[in-house]
Amino acid sequence: MEPLPPENHFILHWLVSGLAVLLTSKLISGFKVSGFLSACLAALGIAVCNAILWPLLFFLTLPINILTLGFFTLVINGAILKISAALLPGFEIDSWFAAIIGAILLSISNIVLHYF
């Protein structure tokens, strides 16, 4: 069996991430996605925000992150989800609690789904 070409690997990774967003929306009450296409667009939006904003937010909050022994990173991840939800249609997060718990569950589901 031949390995997937790089462009197919990206598409597969994107679809699995979309599935993780959809799964998270089914498990968290304040985390809403209107369908699989919206979940895939949300996964793409989250990836772009992670690439651009996450390093900046992490650097700006480094002192508080050190004081909380890294737990403030969960708030940063929740903020990335809230920003993505504000920018994308069909993707809503009602509260900060839903965003932070959603970030944790999204990370876990992404790890598990990408393993398989």
What tens digit of pLDDT does each residue of 28-48 get? 888 899 989 999 999 999 999
> Per the structure block, which two tokens stand in for 75?
């708030």
Q: What is the 3-state secondary structure (H, E, C) of 16-82?
A: HHHHHHHHHHHHCCCEEECCHHHHHHHHHHHHHHHHHHHHHHHHHCHHHHHHCCCCHHHHHHHHHHH
In sequence order, which residues have a C-beta less than 8 Å from that of residue 95 and are 6 or more positions away?
A: 30
User: Which amino acid is located at 3 in the chain?
Assistant: P
Q: Where are the domains of the chain?
A: 6-115
Local mean pLDDT, 10-residue blocks, the chain (116 residues): 66 86 90 90 92 92 93 92 91 91 88 79
